[in-house]
Amino acid sequence: MHDAIVIGGGFYGVAVASYLAEKRGLASVALVERDAGLLGRASLHNQARVHNGYHYPRSFVTAFRSRVNLPRFAADFAGCIVRDFVKIYAVARRNSLVTPRQFRRFCGQIGARLDALPGPLSGVFDRSLIEEAFVVQEYAFDAAKLANWAHQCLADAAVERFMSTRVEAIYRSPNGIRLAISAANLSGPSDLHARYVFNCTYSGLNGFGGDFRGTVAPLKHEITEMALLRMTGSLAGLGVTVVDGPFFSAMPYPARGLHSLSHVRYTPHCAWRDELHGSPYPRLEAHERVSRVDWMLRDAMRYMPALADATYVDSMFEIKTLLQKNEVDDGRPILFEKHAELPGCYSILGGKIDNIYDILARLDHERL
């Protein structure tokens, strides 16, 4: 019988398990992960951006929480943070949902610094398509170093690990919660028991049978492509985001020594509404991974002609999970649900890595 079991070995699962053991003093904490390694799915296959609010001019709450959380994240994970690049946000002259004036006012409201684009960098953009550009304070994280942190973090917190183990169903039990598990090399019991269960499976939040009735908040899945490029010349030390509409972002991806390229129109390959007891991962595995990088580059080069010299290296395909209610404003609030039919069971979803502090703040108020 464990005090708590965390399902999911991504960044959120590891951070929650460590928090429960070290900050809340639970004596027996376990983590169950379906894959063989930690931080190997959404925590790895993303843009590796540590947000500072600039990305969300249409969602003040999301932007403000990023602005508040970034200094703490940068301090706590200093060894995983990359700062040695110039980050630029540019406002498109046409089809943007915000104007430069609105963007400046928004950044002032959340307390995010904006600096004028230096003259030597002004030639990066086609100024007939970019109305104004700013140098900002935003970082990237090294996903490989973060994975090393995860292993050490669980070891330091004495969290028991069940790797390559899948939770099939969640049930009420007389003393708490029972998890039915399966694993190829399972030699012990096929059940785990805990007083509390924390479902941190991101795209797999609703993929359990038994007494689990799913999240109240409706979810949406996307199969996304993050293209990886090798930058040369003036772009090698830059990160660029064009806002706010059907545009793109190119960020350093430190774990591979490359840049990621995402495009609002071409990065999502398909989307669907989440279904209870259904896993999205078979759909990802069956997806024909035909890259759209040519389309991404063709559009992005209109704004940044120097992208013509970039070399395509690879693409990362992954499931991205969102709250349906934020499809319009692009916000990324946390999901924190206690399941009434399963006392002691929580479902947790964060849209960005820095949201972890909002999750832990919610857990601070739970009587465990």
In this predicted structure, what is the pLDDT of residue 331? 74
In this predicted structure, what is the pLDDT of residue 275? 87
Say whether pTM exceeds 0.85: yes
Q: What is the pLDDT of residues 119-161, one digit of tens each?
A: 889 899 999 999 999 999 999 999 999 999 999 999 999 999 9
Mean per-residue pLDDT for 211-216? 95
Q: Distance between CA 247 and CA 263 in Å, rounded?
A: 6
Q: What residues have CB less than 8 Å from 50, skipping those under 6 apart? A: 70, 73, 74, 81, 138, 139, 140, 141, 353, 354
Q: At what angle do helices 356-364 and 11-22 cross, to 10 degrees?
A: 30
| Higher pLDDT among residues 351 and 220, named by residue | 220
> Comparing C-alpha atoms, which of 230, 45, 225, 239 is closest to residue 144?
45
pLDDT band at 51, cuts 50/70/90? very high
Mean per-residue pLDDT for 229-243? 95
Q: For residue 272, is pLDDT > 90?
A: yes
Q: Measured in Å, how far apart are the chain's first and last C-alpha atoms?
A: 15
Q: What is the pLDDT of residues 163-190, one digit of tens each?
A: 999 999 999 999 899 999 998 776 656 8
In this predicted structure, what is the pLDDT of residue 146? 97
In this predicted structure, what is the pLDDT of residue 189? 62
In this predicted structure, what is the pLDDT of residue 328? 66
Mean per-residue pLDDT for 293-311? 97
- Give the β-pairing of 248-253 and 238-243: antiparallel
| Tokens standing for residue 55 | 């990305």
Cis peptide bond N-terminal to 354, omega within 30: no
